[in-house]
Structure 1
Amino acid sequence: MNLFKLQRLIMTALLLASTGFSSVWANVHYAHYAAVAMPDKYSAQVAKQILQQGGNAVDAAVASAFVLAVTYPEAGNLGGGGFMTLYTPKIVVPNSPTDKDAENNALNVHFLDYREQAPLAASQDMYLDDNNQVIPYKSLVGYQASGVPGTVMGLWQVHQRFASLAWQTLLQPAIELAQNGFEVSSQLADRSQWFKRWIADKSSTPLNFESYFGGLKVGQVLKQPELAKTLKRIAKQGAEDFYLGETAKMMVKQLQKHDGLITLQDLAGYQAKWRKPVVGEWLGYQVVSAPPPSSGGIAIVQLLKMKQQLVDKLDKALLQARKSGLSETTIKTHFYAELEKRVYADRAHFLGDPDFIDVPVDKLISDEYLRERGQGVLLDEISESELIKPGKIELPETTHFSIVDAQGNAVSNTYTLNMPFGSGVVIEGAGFLMNDEMDDFSTKPGVANVFGVVGGQANAIAPRKRMLSSMSPTILLKDGQVQMVVGTPGGSTIITSVFQTIVNVVEERMSAQQAVDAPRVHHQLLPKDLIAYNPDLPDQVKQELELMGYSLKKNNYMGDVQLLVNTDKAWQAASDNRGEGVAWVFEVDTPTSRP
């Protein structure tokens, strides 16, 4: 606290003592700290601005998400969907929905599913040819690749329930950036050029991506007047415009003209859903994360619990490694691969949209089940991928942000178009990109999607079904306080990136910045014995893993973690050096009533 603020408080206290009116304390402002970790500087600036204006974490999240739809078009979106994990101990909700989310009121945790849905015209075999083979790229590029978007409805519903500032106020920063423009970064310019080349020969129907985003140059001021008009309509009419109004009609007209699947009936029928978050106990923490149709929360709790159950076995292997001259990193990397194989086998078999299948969440994260799953983990050799069955009973592009306000409310939000720039289709007149999330279904059970992840019948395509995801917005609580807010983009590597970041902070005692910048490794059952890594591993570790029988691949991209950590002394905020994010901890003056 600076000298001026201290003097102001002392003078106010003296005034109260002389007047005897203790109720005047209600007008005093105290400095508390808020923290944000955002994927770009524009969203960080707006999140900070909203919090300093008196908004809560949800206000900042809504405003930031709309800003990213302007400044981060490769993943920030109106035409996609996502998930939001919330902790709201200081937000009074007079009329909470009477749904499954009410079961979590004691913890003040909530989860909003605004994932895309398959259109009514979708069918299980829609991406297969006459020989029952997957048609390359049909679920990824073009007009039939999109699910019904959920982002606008999700932001509207969370605003109606938890926000404190007006909807129009929260959209104004995005409107101004769309109208007046923003400076194109090297990341955006490079990604747009890559995507333009990548889609060039992958759609039989001409796409309009290049006319909107194909010629971006570093330092160029990008203005998006069509998008600005769309945001103004949404600011005035709320979600109604996007799902029933002029924007809805623009979307359907263009998609139907090119044999797309989404209709006005699909849009009118879309709702985001409040679901019960996954909550797991681990080392005294409550790990709160994404339930199905995300696989992330279950997988992260499974990884953390199995690691803890097998810690003695790991410690013995590390001791033996030190005696024999092997690198400890080699043993830990192999250990993570053994755990991850089992988790991804469960993912493929059990997980899908809980509105369509029964997902045994409690069983999958139970101590007993995971002890059984961990029995086959080997520390001296590689388990055969073909023998690992389920237990008995996303170039990926997404974006994530983490926010904690000065009252202790927290938002962990991950949303996406799937591939960078989604399907390559821009809605003309409205200025936003459409998702290509239909590829996240099992287009054919047993066949891998663009991220190499194999799915099963549980994730087969069906009308109004939500496709399985790896997005893992996560919050860690301890003794009723937020200790960590974390998440990342990265397709199938999201789960392993969040898991390793949590371990880096809690068990490896790293700072927030060290935890997100540390090398990460990834194994997802198939391809067999392949370990991906980023940014690099020591040569000795690579040689030792190859001698064990692994093949190694350096991923050009493995997440962009946005992390907030509550230490004993202060908040730490970190944005991954793999991206262009910004992380801040800052003071916010908040009115406080004192007796």
Structure 2
Amino acid sequence: MHLRFFLSLCLSLSLLAQGKGVVVSQERLASEAGAAVLREGGSAVDAAVATAFALAVVHPAAGNLGGGGFLLSRPTSGQPSFVDFRETAPASAHPRMWLKADGTYDEPRHHDELASVGVPGTVAGLREAWKREGRLPWARLLAPAIRLAREGFVLSENQAASLAEQLPAFRKHGPTLAQFSRKGEPLRAGDRLVQRDLARTLARLAKDWRDFYRGTTARLIVRDMKANGGLITAADLRAYRPVLREPLRGTYRGLELLAAPPPSSGGQVLIEALNILEGYDLRAMGAGSPAAVHLTSEALRRAFADRAQFLGDPAFTPDIPLARLLSKAHADELRATIRPDHASTSDPARFIWPKDRPDTTHLSVLDGKGNAVSLTYTLEESYGLRRIVPGAGFLLNDELGDFNAVPGLTDTAGRIGTAPNLARPGQRPLSSMCPVILVKDGRVVMVSGSPGGRTIPATVLGTVLNAVDFGMDARAAVDAPRFHHQWLPDRIQVEADLPAATREALQAMGHTLKEVKKQGCAQVILVRDGRAEGAADTWRWVDSSVASE
């Protein structure tokens, strides 16, 4: 047994919830904030909201007020719901916004220009979810985040290293450097990070969440935009609304799946891949075996090809053929094209994906009554634009780079020009976020999700297969080696722990492999024998934590 696996197993066993509620996130203080809400009688949504606001303080790489995401809820009574609070393009955005005056292509701008910022949705989205299923007062849910920002919290080695890595980018913007350093010098493990402007912003939101969109906070955002070439106006902020959508539904080996609909592609990729894999006896092949990795990669290859061709914001692409893409018949057709002993070939003349952006974050909640929430939200790249709103203390997203850059131009350099995901006023950029909940006989049996850019669906798929097909507990399902295929580039990304014999066999089948140190950061809750097991991805992000009611 690997030492890493053994240590993680011990941690998981010490944190198993004995029939109580569980919160799993990337930071201990955030998980504890959510668990405290559960102990006070709060709902799973209450706990998710409290955890998410706390993450905006203690995990600034991805926890946020200035970004957006998706919240999937499955209550024990009533219907599942899905709150889409993805960022939107400002009214002045347009499909050719990344082209220079001479018509040549300009790389979407990140980290130093406000033109790449989408209208944030996190505050409105969390409020919408709370309005529907919250039980505790709104202000109570923001209280832990306010305290952590006002009084500060002690940085772990991981948090300090993450902030230090960003110092060169923070130096481009004085207010951001001041907030995340000590007079320009890196903060160290054991230092206390105090964020007073952020605390004041959170206090205003605790009194009235609309302050973000039409009050003092909104004015601070607009002032920054006007002074520095940003696109977001007061009208853009006032116009923002989260969208309630029907979760995607699928089945796998007798389980019901609830997953993210467009503008996320996560649910489509996950369900389509599972439909294909349902035709194989993966358990007999074994976890990490050449056959299982090959077939899973081929299923992902085909699901990502469909993603590229069809998916975008449904408000602007209303004819997405989801019923066909998610059908068992479509999976049968795709499965018939897979050779069991040889890799397929992706067509580079059509699409190639740009680089992954890993710094989204995910949290999973299951309360003592069986209500579940799977929430994924993001600033896009790590620390988003790497720039706070002066006087407001929160980081802005750089989400508009997720739109396709050049209309009609798709080439091997990484440019994608398909129509469904071009920037238009009010459009939400395509995402790979993949919050998922699995249900059996009317009861939640698994909650999962992960950050990781376009690797997210593969990471979540791996946790599902590990639990359902390979019988792993939550800890093992999270710790198992991961891999990913996204159609193009035509290769399998593999973690270093994937067995050497499997790698050699995959290469003999014609696969190209790319090794990465780690993939994603899954936060999983698994119910076995009536007991909830929470497993945080502690070796991939050491501060990840499980907290129980």
Same structural fold, with TM-score higher than 0.5 when normalized by the shorter chain: yes
In the other structure, the counterpart of 2:448 is 486
- Give deviations 1:233-254, integer Å, cap 9, x for gaps: 111112x100000000000100
CA 1:397–1:387: 2 relative to 1, 3 Å = closer
Shift in Å, 1:32: 5.5
| SS in structure 1 at match of 2:347 | helix
How far apart, in 1, do the equivalents of 2:412 and 2:436 lie? 25
Letter in 2 for 1:62: V
More displaced stretch, 154-163 vs 539-548: 539-548
1:466 aligns with 2:417: no
Could you say which residue in structure 2 is the equivalent of 1:265? 235
Residue 290 in structure 1 maps to residue 247 in structure 2: no
Structure 1 counterpart of 2:544, from 561, 578, 581: 581
Is 2:404 the counterpart of 1:434? Answer: no
Name the aligned partner's letter for residue 550 of structure 1: H
Q: CA RMSD in A?
A: 2.4
CA distance in structure 2 between the aligned counterparts of 1:428 and 1:443, rounded to whole angstroms:
29
In structure 2, what is the Cα distance between the partners aligned to 1:364 and 1:395? 26
**C-alpha distance in 2 between matches for 1:571 and 1:222:** 33
> How many residues get paired?
520
For residues 68 and 455 of structure 1, the distance between their equivalents in structure 2, rounded to whole angstroms, comes to 35
In structure 2, what residue type is equivalent to 1:290?
A
| CA spacing shift, 1:581–1:503, aligned 2, 3 Å | same
CA distance in 2, matches of 1:455, 1:344: 16
Which whole-Å deviations, capped at 9, do the CAs of 1:64-104 have from their partners, x for residues lacking one? 111111111110000000000001124xxxxxxxxxxxxxx
Paired AA for residue 477 in structure 2? A
Against the structure 1 CA distance between its residues 56 and 437, is the aligned structure 2 distance closer, same or farther, given a 3 Å change threshold?
A: same
Secondary structure in structure 2 of the residue aligned to 1:255: helix
- Correspondent of 1:510 among 446, 449, 472: 472
Report the alpha carbon displacement of residue 443 of structure 1 after superposing the two structures with TM: 1.5
Q: Is the 8 A contact 1:56 1:163 kept in 2?
A: yes
Larger Rg: 1
- Partner residue in 1 for 2:4: none
Counterpart position of 1:547: 508
Partner deviation per Cα, 1:571-592 (whole Å, 9 max, x = no partner): 1110113112112444xxxxxx
Q: How far off its partner does 1:194 sit?
A: 2.6
Instruction: Determine the C-alpha separation between the residues in 1 that align with 2:374 and 2:412.
Output: 26
Match of 2:224 in 1: 254
Amino acid at match of 1:189: A
Aligned equivalents of 2:474, 2:503: Cα separation in 1? 26
Partner Cα distance (2:415, 2:291) in 1: 25
Shift of 1:140: 5.8
**Secondary structure in structure 1 of the residue aligned to 2:278:** helix
Mapped partners of 1:212, 1:440: distance in 2: 27
- TM-score scaled by structure 2? 0.90
**In structure 2, what is the equivalent of residue 213 of structure 1?**
180
Q: Distance in 2 between matches of 1:487 and 1:140?
A: 26
Identity value in percent? 39
Equivalent residue, structure 2, for 1:45: 32
Distance in 1, matches of 2:357 and 2:392, equals 26
Go from structure 1 to structure 2 and tell me whether the alpha carbon gap of 1:488 and 1:455 turns closer, same or farther (over 3 Å shift): farther
TM-score normalised per structure 1 = 0.83
Gaps of 5+ in 2: 1-17
CA distance in 1: counterparts of 2:175 and 2:423, whole angstroms:
27
Q: Secondary structure at the match of 2:232?
A: coil
Structure 1 residue 376: deviation in Å? 1.0
CA contact (8 A) 2:19 2:531 kept: no
Q: 1:165 and 2:136 equivalent? A: yes
Whether 1:114 and 2:75 are equivalent positions in the alignment is no
Alpha-carbon distance in structure 2 between the residues aligned to 1:449 and 1:469? 21
CA distance in 2, matches of 1:400, 1:409: 17
- Farther-moved stretch of structure 1 (413-422 vs 127-136): 127-136
Helix, strand or coil for the counterpart of 1:379? coil
Paired position in structure 2 for 1:124: 95
Structure 2: which amino acid aligns with 1:270? Y
User: Deviation per CA, 1:41-78, whole angstroms, max 9, x where unpaired?
Assistant: 10111111111111111111111111111111110000
Contact 1:142–1:425 (CA<8 Å) still a contact in 2? no
> What SS does structure 2 have at the residue aligned with 1:286?
strand
- 1:124-157 CA deviation, whole Å, 9 max, x = no partner? 1111224544323515642111100000001111
Go from structure 1 to structure 2 and tell me whether the alpha carbon gap of 1:464 and 1:70 turns closer, same or farther (over 3 Å shift): same
- The CA distance in 1 between the partners of 2:260 and 2:465, in whole Å, is 18
**2:111/2:387 contact within 8 Å kept:** no
Q: Is the 8 A contact 1:571 1:585 kept in 2?
A: no
Alignment of 1:315-354 (within 5 A): 329-354=289-314
